[in-house]
Amino acid sequence: MQGVIIEFTPGEKRVIDRSLAVVKRAKSKAQSILAFAWDVSDAWSQFLSTLFGGMPGQTLASRAGRNRHLPFWNALRKFLNLLFSPRTKLHCERAIQRDLERSKAILSIRKPYYRV
């Protein structure tokens, strides 16, 4: 079977190029919105964790992963791992690592408050 070659007129090429540019901009905007939504959900998780006595900057998932020996946090850990299982495996355990990486990044750019 032979391949088919399709030739487009210059007008059709312009329409295709414009359409591709629109799709590319829409994809970029969608990625920006999703990144913003992820950051907001992460901030809420940190806020709620701190509100209920956790360390500042620690998310609920990370706290549940660290406190798995306590019944409430173990149940929350299992629920969060099940909820996020289509997206990630062992969500709470990975949240611990993400919190550590975020803390290290913040400490690496923060200037010390004391003078030497």
pLDDT for 102: 87
pLDDT for 3: 75
pLDDT for 86: 79
Are the CB atoms for 86 and 92 separated by under 8 Å? no
pLDDT for 56: 86
What does each C-alpha distance from 13 to 4, 7, 25, 68 come to in angstroms?
18, 9, 18, 59
> Model pTM?
0.68
pLDDT for 84: 87
- Which tens digits make up the pLDDT trace of 79-97? 999 998 877 788 999 999 9
Q: Is the pLDDT of residue 75 over 70?
A: yes
CA angle 48, 31, 27 (to 5 degrees): 155
pLDDT for 44: 95
